[in-house]
Amino acid sequence: MSAPYQPQVSDPLLEPVAPAAVQVGSWDEALALLRQRSTNLRIALARVESAAGQRRVALAGLLPTVNGSASVQYNVLDPSSTPFLGGGAGGGIGGGVGTGGGDGPRPTSPLGTATVTASVPLLDWSALQSLRSAGASRRAAELSLEEARRQLTGELARALARVASSERLAEVNRVNLRSALERLALAQRRLELGAGTQLDVIRLRQDAESARSSVVSGDNSLLQARDDLALILGQEQPVGLARNVSLEELLNGGQRECRSLPSLEERPDLAAARAQLEAAEHDVSAAQARYLPTLAAQSTVVGLTVDPGFARVPVWNIGAVLTVPFYEGGARGGRVRQARAQEETARQQAVELQRGASVEVRQTRREVDVARSGLEIATRARELAAENDRLTRRAFEVGAGTSQDLVVSAAALRQTELNLVVSEFQLFQARIEAFLAEAACDW
């Protein structure tokens, strides 16, 4: 029995897509690029730094302050009389140096003065609540950074998987195009031998054009996937995957950088929402505390230039200042209302996020089972389509089948090949989503 006829075919579209300008060979390599170039990661880091600065500003409201000033005064109307701090001609300075006659030191003309004032808050409930609010905001920013890492891990994993799947689809499309060209060559051979018809050739030419269209579309999807990966990694040139990188290796790499959480409540975005709510509650307390008095200790030291000599310190006051707010036009009430509204907004956002996370976990778990079942079905369908195409092609070779049967079986095989690749990608994506829904990433 003679061997089946094996036609030799060629087509420019059978050439594979050129490799990307930048290639990554592993998850660790891709993650290193992400750390170096990701704008989202740098924005999250900047927000942590901003929150730390805001807390330091709030802490300053509870710490001592020291201010100093220096000045030079000259009495234009009467240079010989140098009044200071309310003193006139011949007046003294708190029982200190006078400007009148006497043998003691006299203020110089022009007069140089230096003042140092220190203040220590003793009771300021509003500033204390502001510090607590800033501390909670800082924790929220740090947790948001962890959430940004979790989201970036998912985006990177999906982008890598999309590139891998697109490259696989491009290869499958070329295999299908080669098969379509071989069927066309077989039909042309039968026509030359007088066993086929022109209709058979036209049908298989249509099938080959359909396969060419799939190649062009698949190549475009691959190039888009490379561009999307380049954006995530902060590259200006397309980024592709090195050969022999499997989806399972990418999944394992992503799971190494993250850890499963014992409870959904510990997920970074939920914890950040609770911290934001705590900060909003402290803001309400800080706004209400503006109705309360404040107490501070103050001290002032005054020095001035004298003649003879250089300088003298005639004043050093130490005292306490009690500030009682009476009325300021309703600004405090407005701040309280505003803070309460922001607190309610933060509370509802936390509740909404909690509900969404619970639904997300339930859905991602279900999607894994659905994707796994879909992959099993796609695998069996592809095996059946391949066997059907083999038998149909053999029947056409011996004259027992029609070109219509050959076109239909070829189209079905192509579709099942594509469905299989898509199902593999969907299962990978579902596993990543299910893992990250209850994980935190500390890289």
CA angle 234, 236, 241 (to 5 degrees): 75
> What are residue 5's phi and psi, to 5 degrees?
-70, 125
In a domain, 422, yes or no: yes
In a domain, 165, yes or no: yes
Quickly tell me which residue has 């300088």 as its tokens: 311
**Whole-number Å distance between alpha carbons of 166 and 424:** 11
In a domain, 2, yes or no: no
114 membership: H or E segment, kind and range:
strand 111-123
DSSP per position, 369-401: HHHHHHHHHHHHHHHHHHHHHHHHHHHHHTTSS
DSSP per position, 257-304: HEEE-SSGGGSHHHHHHHHHHHHHHHHHHHHHGGGS-EEEEEEEEEEE
- Summarize the confidence of residues 335-354 as an average pLDDT: 96
**Whole-number Å distance between alpha carbons of 407 and 195:** 18
In a domain, 96, yes or no: no
In a domain, 128, yes or no: yes
User: What range defines the domain where residue 47 resides?
Assistant: 16-81+103-441
In a domain, 10, yes or no: no
108-123 pLDDT, tens digit each: 888 899 999 999 999 9
Q: Find, among 269, 286, 350, 329, the residue nearest to 133 by Cα.
A: 286
Beta strands in 124-215, from DSSP E residues, in sequence order: none
pTM over 0.85: no
Contacts of 428 (CB under 8 A, 6+ apart): 161, 247, 250, 251
In a domain, 385, yes or no: yes
Q: Which range, 11-25, 89-103, 370-384, has the best average confidence (pLDDT)?
A: 370-384
Q: What is the amino acid identity at position 406? A: L
**Whole-number Å distance between alpha carbons of 252 and 161:** 12
287-343 pLDDT, tens digit each: 999 999 999 999 999 999 988 888 899 899 999 999 999 998 999 999 999 999 999
CA angle 146, 147, 149 (to 5 degrees): 65
Specify the higher pLDDT residue, 219 or 185.
219
405-428 pLDDT, tens digit each: 878 888 888 889 889 988 988 998
Give pairs for 82-88: CB < 8 Å, separation 24+.
82/106, 82/107, 82/108, 82/109, 82/110, 82/111, 84/111, 84/113, 84/304, 85/302, 85/315
Contacts of 156 (CB under 8 A, 6+ apart): 30, 31, 34, 232, 233, 254
Q: Are 287 and 328 in contact, with CB atoms under 8 Å apart? A: no
The CATH number given to whatever domain includes residue 236 is 1.20.1600.10
> What are residue 244's phi and psi, to 5 degrees?
70, 25
In a domain, 252, yes or no: yes
60-102 pLDDT, tens digit each: 999 999 999 999 988 887 777 655 544 443 334 444 444 444 5
DSSP letter assigned to residue 122: E
Beta bridge partners of 239: 22
Specify the higher pLDDT residue, 439 or 245.
439
Domain count, the chain: 1
Q: What confidence score (pLDDT) does residue 200 get?
A: 80
